[in-house]
Amino acid sequence: MSLSRRQLFGLSGGVVAGVALGACGVALTAPGGSTGAVLPSEVPLPKPFTTDLPPLATARTRPLRGGGRKGTLTTRRRGTEILPGRTTEIAGYDGTFPGPLLEATKGEPLHLTLRNELDHPVVNHLHGGVTPPRDDGYPTDLVGPGTSRVYRYPLRQRAATLWYHDHTMDLTGPNVYAGLAGGFVLRDPAEEDLGLPRQERELTLVLTDRSFGEDAQLLYPMTEHGIERRYHGGLLGDCMLVNGAPWPRTDVDAARYRVRVLNACNARRLELALDPGGEIVQVGTDQGLLTRPHRRRSLTLAPAERADVVIDFSAYRVGQQVTLVNRLGDGDMGLVMRFDVARRGKDDSRVPERLSVIDPIDPSRVVRTRDFHLALGKPMPSGHGSHSGGDRSLPMWSINGQPYRPGHDLFTAELGTVERWRITTDVHHPVHAHLVHFQVEQDGAPAWKDTVDVGPASRAEVLVPIEGYRGRYVMHCHNLEHEDRMMMADWSVV
């Protein structure tokens, strides 16, 4: 969600990269606040609300000797029905799109074996996880085809809606687009007493936009030199998928539902609202529960951001259709899915006014303030180590003027300290750091996030406790086309 006004300041006279990009003929900003260009599908798309919302597959886990759980995911290709009556080949975890929902309990480690049956290397990253560097999914820490490895997630962190996805150097965009992304719900038994809706009244919605070729296959505009120039600012699909189904519908009771929403789009921002109107009660962010519920009419999610919300369908009459819309989308992309209020239902859930405790960080604890500028940089210098490079006449996305160089730290931070990070931008960039979490102020209260949506020519400021583990991590833009074109940096905890 967008940061509060106190944390966002327009930069007067800021450099607008549209000018720079216009000069090289690259579409940058699509209508509606997403960075990127829409790739039109070549096949007729289904009418919205003609498919049913599929349940997410769930990953089975087993007890781990010594405590915790273990499970296995296998990356593989599989034909699946996304468009009615057509077969689309995806390359996903266990051959599903999106990947199976992983569930774990705070403080209980999960050892996840990843078996790679694809014909190319993959990397797994638990987004929002506090994970030692060897298991965090560094972009060149590859799991080769036909091999497997175990990722050990300690999960000593707040309960939250996390997600897992591919993080392969230069190829995260196409790999996630092909299917390598899934939801991960980290639960805390202490939250059960809050009385929030649960079980069949808790939904996880994984939102992705995709485009399809005339053969109904996923279209990703890769050339041998990287992504086509037109999509250098981000790839926007023209078919909205929820849990892998195009503009689905589902029956709901006239009762409260807890809905965990993940924007897993490569580049598309979403502003979610209900039609014919109604309240969305936000109870959590990327990193778990807020201190108190925030009642809102709409909710903006940039790529990789999550929101935990409660929707009370008893505010509508039985028989009414409630559409989840995206105010930033055009045409059918202005629609997401539909809830059909099918029946009355007994409801003993509640949304308490006190959800969690978040101690605001005392700014006097800040030992260092860092500035990060995310902007279009220069074309990649020849001799740069990256094998992607892509179209070398195009500028690369950069952080502080540097295209990503694996193995070279942009900065080091000291374990146990608190830093202030100030981020400025040219166009929209959702900024994500591995390992650490950002304390922001949202609606007058502290909240935890791992991805911040920083608007065009804007400035954001976050407080960052350096907690967890020593070693090398990355920070990057979560517009995946920006990330693959070098908007990433190494940093180390010492």
Distance from C-alpha of 364 to C-alpha of 372, rounded to nearest angstrom: 21
For residue 473, the SS3 value is strand
Least distance (Å) between residue 459 CB and Cu ion: 15
According to DSSP, the β-strands at 88-93 and 51-52 are unpaired
What six digits make up the tokens of 219?
């279209």
Footprint (CB under 5 A) of Cu ion, residues 363-422:
none
Pick out residues in 312-331 that bind Cu ion (CB under 5 A).
none
Total number of residues that touch Cu ion (CB under 5 A): 4
Q: Per CB under 5 A, does 210 bind Cu ion?
A: no
201 vs 429, beta carbon nearer Cu ion: 429
Q: How far is the CB of 313 from Cu ion (least distance, A)?
A: 36
- What string marks each residue from 415 to 434 as x (binds Cu ion by CB under 5 A) or -? --------------x-----
**Of 92 and 234, which CB lies nearer to Cu ion in the complex structure?**
234
β-bridge partners, 99? 182
- Please tell me the distance from the alpha carbon of residue 49 to that of residue 259, in angstroms, as a whole number: 19
Q: Which of residues 216-245 bind Cu ion (CB under 5 A)?
A: none
15 φψ region: left (φ > 0), alpha (ψ -120 to 50), beta (else): beta
The window from 51-59, 259-267, 384-392, 475-483 that contacts Cu ion (CB under 5 A) reads: 475-483
CB under 8 Å to 446, separation ≥6 — which residues?
A: 291, 358, 359, 360, 361, 439, 440
CB of 430 to Cu ion, least distance (A): 7
CB 462 within 8 A of CB 420: yes
Among 57, 426, 479, 486, binds Cu ion (CB under 5 A): 479
R_g (Cα) of the chain, nearest Å: 21
CB of 208 to Cu ion, least distance (A): 18
Tell me, what DSSP letter sits at residue 450? Answer: S
Minimum distance, C-beta of residue 265 to Cu ion, in the bound complex (Å): 13
Q: Strands 395-399, 409-413: parallel, antiparallel or unpaired by DSSP?
A: unpaired
86 contacts 127 by C-beta, under 8 angstroms: no
- CB of residue 296 to Cu ion, shortest distance in Å: 25
315: tokens are: 């505010």
For Cu ion, which is the closer residue by CB, 94 or 209? 209
The distance of closest approach from Cβ of residue 478 to Cu ion in the complex, given in angstroms and rounded to an integer, is 7
**Among 373, 388, 463, which Cα is nearest to 427's?**
373
Indicate the residue among 123 and 477 with the shorter CB distance to Cu ion.
Answer: 477
Cβ closest to Cu ion, residue 424 vs residue 479: 479
* CB 397, min distance to Cu ion, A: 6
Of the candidate spans 7-15, 86-94, 178-186, 472-480, the one that interacts with Cu ion by CB under 5 A turns out to be 472-480
To the nearest whole angstrom, how small is the minimum distance from the Cβ of residue 393 to Cu ion? 20
Query: 165 or 429, CB closer to Cu ion?
Result: 429
Angle at 181 between CA 42 and CA 216, to 5 degrees: 20
Residue 272 or 477: which CB sits closer to Cu ion?
477
Closest approach of Cu ion to the CB of residue 263, in Å:
14
Residue with Cβ nearer Cu ion (449 or 482): 482
- With CB under 5 A as the contact rule, which of the stretches 224-232, 256-264, 303-311, 473-481 interacts with Cu ion? 473-481
Choose between 136 and 426: whose C-beta lies nearer to Cu ion: 426
Minimum CB separation of residue 425 from Cu ion in Å reads 8
Which one of residues 246, 482, 486, 488 is an interface residue with Cu ion (CB under 5 A)?
482
Is 477 a residue that touches Cu ion (CB under 5 A)?
Answer: yes
Contact window for Cu ion (CB under 5 A) among 83-91, 148-156, 196-204, 470-478 = 470-478
Cis (ω within 30 of 0) for the bond into 98? yes
Closest of 251, 247, 168 to residue 208, by C-alpha: 247
Task: Give the list of residues 6+ apart from residue 362 with CB closer than 8 angstroms, or none.
Answer: none
CA quadruple 323, 59, 185, 142: dihedral positive or negative?
A: negative
Nearer to Cu ion, 294 or 459 (CB): 459
DSSP annotation string for 249-317: EEEEEESEEEEEEEE--SS--EEEEEET---EEEEEETTEEEEEEEEESEEEE-TT-EEEEEEEGGGS-
Question: Are the beta carbons of 424 and 477 closer than 8 angstroms?
Answer: no
Segment interacting with Cu ion, rule: CB under 5 A, options 184-192, 349-357, 455-463, 478-486: 478-486
Whichever of 127 and 260 has its CB closer to Cu ion, that residue is 127
Residues of the shown chain interacting with Cu ion in the complex, contacts defined by CB under 5 A: 429, 477, 479, 482
